[in-house]
Amino acid sequence: MNRPITILTAACCVIMTWSCSTPKNHDMQQELTTVGNPYMPLWEHIPDGEPYVFEDPDQPGRQRVYVYGSHDNLVTEYCGRDQVVWSAAVDSLNRWRYDGVILVVDKNGKGEPFDTAGTADVLYAPDVALVTDSTGKKTYYLFPNDQSSGRNGLIARSDRPDGPFEVCNWSQDNPDRADGVLQFDPAVFVDDDGRVYGYWGFERSYAAEFDPATMATVKPGTKVVEDMISGRYQEGRFKFFEASSIRKVKDKYIFIYSRFTEEGEFGLPSSNYTLAYAYSDKPLGPWTYGGTIIDGRAREKDEQDNTIASATPDGNTHGSICEIGGQWYVFYHRQTGTDEYARQAMVAPITVTVEEGEGGKVEISEGEYTSEGFATNGLDPFERHSAGIACWYTGPKPATHEWPNNTFYGSYVASGYGTDSKFDAPYDLRNNTNDVVNNTDGSIVGYKYFNFDGVEDEDLRLLLNLTPEGIDGTIDIMADRPWVSQGGQLLGSISLRADMPQTPTELSADLKGTDKLQGKHAIFFIFKSETKEQSLCKLHNFIFSN
């Protein structure tokens, strides 16, 4: 029996809905309505997401998109000691279901329940492959990046896409070792003819055809392909860093990976915060460089027309592409807080065009870093949104942010846990929100995009939930761009006083000219104060109102 429960937090006023049920192989599932980007609940941290559309084993004939990733829950280092899966019906991409823990591996490889003493392996970026035999039986293979004890990567299998998975490639000769050649950031692909290919690597890329009987060892008579595409320290534009992922679209093979950009490329310093792609007529190449699919720095232009990172200036990313309901998306992740240990799942719509035939081109558009998520027609301004879905957060010196040295000149999104947030645990269902903090003079916080179609009122009101921090200042509310010189429109302002109680407070601003905001528009908060380098407030959430 499902019981929908609506939770309203007193401090944050963020509403969400979840339900509990007891399907096969799972003690409990939680389904939550999420709106915006990140597309999962804001207390969840799933980086390295690999998306796949599989049949729902509990509803034959119906499809769900399953996202397999790492699990940032160790707080002070990458990833976690368990891997979980989230899924959503292909026709309901704003309702994500927590399908539970799918794999834990203790230090002896027994796969026993999570050891609170911390002896379980840390599991890094995984991939999943589906094998369907001649009888139609489906077997799902999970490839976690687990090289504990110096072994090559583990492989686990299940008869369900939501697990649980059981390791199946332990060596018969050494209980700490595993059969196979997979190593860092594995990706595995089962072709239409049943042949199996594996990809992996860090700063150098590797690939091989696998023996379908093992899904891990190199097929007899073949060998590992070294430097499949050029790496970070090699000649050429490919600049492979990590995060191998493979897809086949029509007759073309598409290799997605984290690319180290060249110094000055795009007008920014070198970074591995981009996902790029290469394509080929064959699963092991040769490959043609395609371009950038997403840039986690959210490249923008400042008022002087300089290219800037309008979001986290550096970090890492990992993800892939997936077609859902006729629309292609790129799945990736962003950083929160002031380090790289609280990453969140992000998505952006893209176009994928394949020219079939030998030598045909593959063109993938670059996705835009936005606050929309799957709400590709724009967010509803009359729903309350967490400040943490911001897609633009900069300070007075946006081109010189330091990362990850814990120095920010302006605004950033606080992680769902840790010292820079009021939340003590990521799995607190009462707190589906992230704050935006360190809002100093000159900081800009922006949201792309809201859909104002049908708004007929000449004047709207913005209700902004925040905690003042003892500084006199103002927050200007702009539409379209942060600056009038670039076509931005000043809608209104909110004043902050130093004597305001430093407790969560909802302030309002009467907005002018909003009847002209038809269609999709970006909204920006511009912070101004005579007191420099000191935060005016913490942003919690906001809503537009009549």
Q: What is the percent of the chain with per-residue pLDDT over 90, rounded to a whole number?
A: 71
Give per-residue pLDDT as tens, 376-409: 999 999 999 999 999 999 988 644 445 444 556 7
Confidence grade of residue 51 (pLDDT, cut at 50, 70, 90): very high
Kindly tell me if the per-residue pLDDT of 107 is higher than 60: no
Helix (H, G, I), strand (E, B) or coil at 400: helix
Average pLDDT over residues 170-192: 91
Question: How does pLDDT run across 425-439, given as a tens digit for each residue?
Answer: 344 445 678 899 999
Q: How confident is the model at residue 118 (pLDDT cuts 50, 70, 90)?
A: low
Helix (H) or strand (E) holding 207: strand 206-210
- Residue 78's identity, in one-letter code, is Y
In whole angstroms, give the CA distance from residue 105 to residue 135. Answer: 31
| Phi, then psi, of 30 in degrees rounded to 5 | -125, 125
- CA pair distance 466, 64, nearest whole angstrom: 37
State in Å, rounded, how far the first CA of the chain is from the last one.
Answer: 38
Digit-coded pLDDT (tens) for 511-528: 998 888 889 999 999 999
Question: At which residue do the structure tokens 């018969």 appear?
Answer: 172
Residue 140 — pLDDT band, cuts 50, 70, 90? very high
Indicate if the pLDDT at residue 106 is higher than 80. Answer: no
In terms of pLDDT, which residue wins out, 303 or 6? 303
Residue 417: pLDDT over 90: no
More confidently predicted of 177 and 502? 502
Give me the torsion for CA of 451, 38, 438, 474, rounded to 10°: 10
Phi, psi of 363 (to 5 degrees): -120, 120
304-343 pLDDT tens trace: 999 999 998 888 999 999 999 999 999 999 999 888 888 9
pLDDT exceeds 90 at position 209: yes
Q: CB neighbours of 10 closer than 8 A, spacing ≥ 6?
A: none
73 contact partners, CB below 8 Å, separation of at least 6: 45, 80, 82, 426
Residue 261's identity, in one-letter code, is: T
Say if residue 421's pLDDT is above 60: no
Least confident span in 25-39, 196-210, 270-284: 25-39
- Given a cut of 70, is residue 110 above it in pLDDT? no
The C-alpha atoms of residue 136 and residue 130 are separated, in whole angstroms, by 12
Output the 3-class SS for 485-531. Answer: HHCCEEEEEEEECCCCCCCCEEEEEEEECHHHCCCEEEEEEEEECCC
pTM of the model: 0.91
Mean pLDDT across the chain: 87
Distance CA 269, CA 146 (A): 31
Percentage, residues of the chain above pLDDT 70: 87
Average pLDDT over residues 91-96: 93
Residue for token digits 């949201």?
A: 447
CA 528/CA 476 separation, integer angstroms: 8
* pLDDT, position 15: 34
Q: Give the burial string for 74-106 (b: 16+ CB within 10 Å, else e).
A: ebeebbbbbbbbbbbbbeebebbbbbbbbbbbb
Task: Count CB-CB contacts under 10 A for residue 255.
Answer: 27
pLDDT greater at residue 38 or residue 420: 38
| Lookup: tokens for 529 | 């104060």
Averaged pLDDT, 118-129 = 89
Q: What is the pLDDT of residue 246?
A: 98
In this prediction, residue 408 carries a pLDDT of: 63
CB atoms within 10 A of CB 513: 14
Show Cβ contacts of residue 314 under 8 Å, excluding neighbours closer than 6 positions.
269, 271, 273, 297, 401, 403, 404
pLDDT score for 271: 93
